[in-house]
């Protein structure tokens, strides 16, 4: 008699565990916080969780080097940066004054002399008689670096400038003082009440003038990483540079695509 050998039973194991999400940490310079809000609102990809860290450019680049963030969006990339970087939009540094200040604009030369402390009275630039109260940011911040390079040139910042630690504090200080002048980024200044930007050399900071780089203080916002991004981070940055998203960003910023 031949033995009856039962056929092997195939057992299918179905995993009920959910896929492990990918967490991306985005460091964004504080003047570009509207970009962070845009990304968080519009980039909805299953399995990808986004986190945002805000701060000054140098601090974010330090965080990138320490693996605290996966990408740093900054306005200035160090000259000897060994990593990868690519612009995602064009922004502009704007000088801002109290909303009741009658001065509408200044020349680049006048801006230089204000920042250097050589022009100290609003009457010298077409405003009412009264002291100009200058507010600035710490060394290394994106806006300050652009102003130093393109406006101050060989001049030094006025020692009397009151240093603010964030763009929020800068806008708050200017909004509270009709004699104040400070600066911020075009894309974020509109969020603050009580302040308005000055025209420089007759050209206002607008998406078109920034996008065509007619505006003097146009500056890219760079995505920076230690190595060329791959995977989910690369997909996010590609999405930011897609024609559809660039068109949306182009309502507030200058486009790079």
| 118 within some domain | yes
Q: Do 211 and 113 have their domain in common? A: yes
Kind and range of the H or E run holding 106: strand 105-106
| 16 within some domain | no
pLDDT in tens, 122-137: 999 999 999 999 999 9
| 2 within some domain | no
| 76 within some domain | yes
Q: Do 53 and 142 have their domain in common? A: no
For residue 172 the two structure tokens come to 């708050």
Q: Do 55 and 117 have their domain in common? A: no
Mark residue 186 as left, alpha or beta (left: phi above 0; alpha: psi -120 to 50; beta: remaining): alpha
Q: Quick one: pLDDT at residue 80?
A: 87
Low-confidence ranges of the chain (pLDDT < 70): 1-17
Q: Do 121 and 136 have their domain in common? A: yes
Q: Do 147 and 228 have their domain in common? A: no
The CA distance from 29 to 60, in Å, is 7
Mark residue 23 as left, alpha or beta (left: phi above 0; alpha: psi -120 to 50; beta: remaining): beta
DSSP 8-state secondary structure symbol assigned to residue 63: H
Q: Which residue segment(s) compose the domain that 148 sits in?
A: 92-218
For residue 253 the two structure tokens come to 């910023």
pLDDT in tens, 4-23: 556 665 656 555 567 789 99
| 9 within some domain | no
The CA distance from 187 to 205, in Å, is 10
Q: Quick one: pLDDT at residue 183?
A: 97
Angle at 22 between CA 76 and CA 249, to 5 degrees: 45
Q: Do 134 and 192 have their domain in common? A: yes
| 206 within some domain | yes
| 62 within some domain | yes
Beta strands in the chain (DSSP E): 22-29, 48-55, 71-74, 84-98, 105-106, 133-137, 162-164, 180-185, 195-197, 199-200, 218-225
Q: Do 73 and 115 have their domain in common? A: no
Q: Do 156 and 41 have their domain in common? A: no
CATH of the domain at 41: 3.40.190.10
| 14 within some domain | no
Cβ atoms 53, 28 nearer than 8 A: yes
Domain count, the chain: 2
Q: Do 162 and 70 have their domain in common? A: no
């Amino acid at each position: 008699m031949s033995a009856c050998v039962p056929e092997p039973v195939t057992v299918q194991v179905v995993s009920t565990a959910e896929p492990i999400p990918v967490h991306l940490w985005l460091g964004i310079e504080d003047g570009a916080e509207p970009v962070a809000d845009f990304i968080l609102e519009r980039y909805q990809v299953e399995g990808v969780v986004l986190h945002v860290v805000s701060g000054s450019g140098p601090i974010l680049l330090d965080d990138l080097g320490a693996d605290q963030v996966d990408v740093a969006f900054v306005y200035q990339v160090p000259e000897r940066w060994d990593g990868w970087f690519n612009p995602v939009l064009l922004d502009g540094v704007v000088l801002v004054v109290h909303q009741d200040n009658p001065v509408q604009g200044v020349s680049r030369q006048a801006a230089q002399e204000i920042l250097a402390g050589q022009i100290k009275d609003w009457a010298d630039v077409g405003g009412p008689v009264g002291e100009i109260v200058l507010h600035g940011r710490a060394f290394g911040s994106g806006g300050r670096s652009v102003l130093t390079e393109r406006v101050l040139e060989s001049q030094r910042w006025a020692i009397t400038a009151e240093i603010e630690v964030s763009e929020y504090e800068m806008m708050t200080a200017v909004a509270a003082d009709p004699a104040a002048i400070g600066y911020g980024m075009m894309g974020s200044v509109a969020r603050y009440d009580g302040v308005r930007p000055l025209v420089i050399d007759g050209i206002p900071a607008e998406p078109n003038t920034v996008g065509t780089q007619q505006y003097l203080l146009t500056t890219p916002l760079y995505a920076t990483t230690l190595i060329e991004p791959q995977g989910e981070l690369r997909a996010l940055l590609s999405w930011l540079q897609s024609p559809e998203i660039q068109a949306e960003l182009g309502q507030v910023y200058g486009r790079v695509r």
